[in-house]
Amino acid sequence: MRRPVIAANWKMFKTQAETRSFFNRFRSLASSLRHCDLIIAPAFTALAAAVEAARGSEILISAQDLYWEKEGAWTGEVSAGMIAEVGCRFTLVGHSERRHVFGETDDQIHRKLRAALAAGLAPIVCVGETLSEREANQTEDVLRRQFNSSLTGLTAPEFSRILLAYEPVWAIGTGRTATPDLAAAAHGLLRELASHAYSSASSQNLRILYGGSVKPENSAALLAEEEIDGALVGGASLDPVAFAAIAKSAPGGPLEQNRSV
């Protein structure tokens, strides 16, 4: 079984002070969550505070985005090296808000992915279709295009550092969650693409997170799917108790252990 990953995407929420207060509460809750990897992605301005607040725990810190150049006249941008230096181990790449609100292209996402890998960060690459693409039966084509263009040409060791997140755009921040079987089918397709592009072994080791209105009320059913290796949580991750409850519901966690006694 692949080890579950429960990741928080805080988007443009939480100051440094709010980040510290989240960790004050979350660290004690996280001590019973050894069955999964816990990743938190605060805004750039709170990364250092989060790294400091997570020190000595198993909680890992991620950026939400990066720029692919190392340094230079790129006003407003932050490089992979800068993110790594703060103490982050991960970065999101190609989140749907970056693609659809800020117009990021597959090519830009590929460059970001390469820059992240070169700086020693593990990229969490987000893919997913819009509602109109799903309604037009284009989900497979969209996932294939996004996978093939952003995840092309990596070595096997590079590919092994990637986490993938399937986030149907119509489910993000809308309260509409994909059903577990619909999400599992998309994950299965992504795993097949990984097997074609790399190898069966790499695809079996690849962890694919589901994202889109994940909450404590729906996380257990989603995470029970064999194809779903974790969750990328937006809104519900802002509350330490709700985020811990989602992590708790992952296979191998305290909820499952209680059920089996």
Kindly list the residues in this chain that would bind ligand PGA in the complex (CB under 6 A): 9, 167, 172-173, 211-214, 232-236
**DSSP 8-state secondary structure symbol assigned to residue 169:** G
> Considering 97, 133, 167, 225, which one is annotated as catalytic?
167
Q: Which is nearer to ligand PGA, 143 or 198 (CB)?
A: 143
When the beta carbons of 87 and 235 are compared against ligand PGA, the nearer one is 235
Nearest residue to ligand PGA on Cβ basis: 234
Instruction: Tell me which residue of 74, 3, 64, 83 sits closest to 35, measured CA to CA.
Output: 3
Contact partners, residue 90, CB within 8 Å, separation at least 6: 7, 39, 41, 60, 61, 62, 63, 121, 122, 123, 124, 163
| Both structure tokens of 111 | 């460059």
Minimum Å distance from CB 128 to ligand PGA? 9
Nearer to ligand PGA, 128 or 251 (CB): 128
Question: Residue 64: CB partners within 8 Å, gap ≥ 6?
Answer: 9, 10, 11, 41, 42, 43, 44, 91, 92, 95
Compute the least distance from the CB of residue 157 to ligand PGA, in Å: 27
DSSP tag of 130 = -
Cα dihedral: 125, 41, 172, 110 (round 10): -20
Query: Which entry of 95, 129, 133, 187 is annotated as an active-site residue?
Result: 95
As given in the structure block, the two tokens for residue 135 are 């309604």
Q: Looking at beta carbons only, is 51 or 232 nearer to ligand PGA?
A: 232
Q: How far is the CB of 260 from ligand PGA (least distance, A)?
A: 29
Q: Is 35 a catalytic residue?
A: no
Q: For this structure, is 217 an active site residue?
A: no
Residue 147: CB minimum distance to ligand PGA, A: 18
Considering the complex, state which of residue 85 and residue 217 has its C-beta at the smaller distance from ligand PGA: 217
Provide, rounded to whole angstroms, the least separation between the CB of residue 246 and ligand PGA. 10
Tell me the C-alpha distance between 218 and 233, whole Å.
12
Packing angle of the helix pair 139-150, 180-197 (nearest 10 deg): 40
d(CA 261, CA 254): 11
What is the gyration radius of the CA atoms in the chain, in angstroms?
A: 17
| Catalytically annotated residues | 95, 167
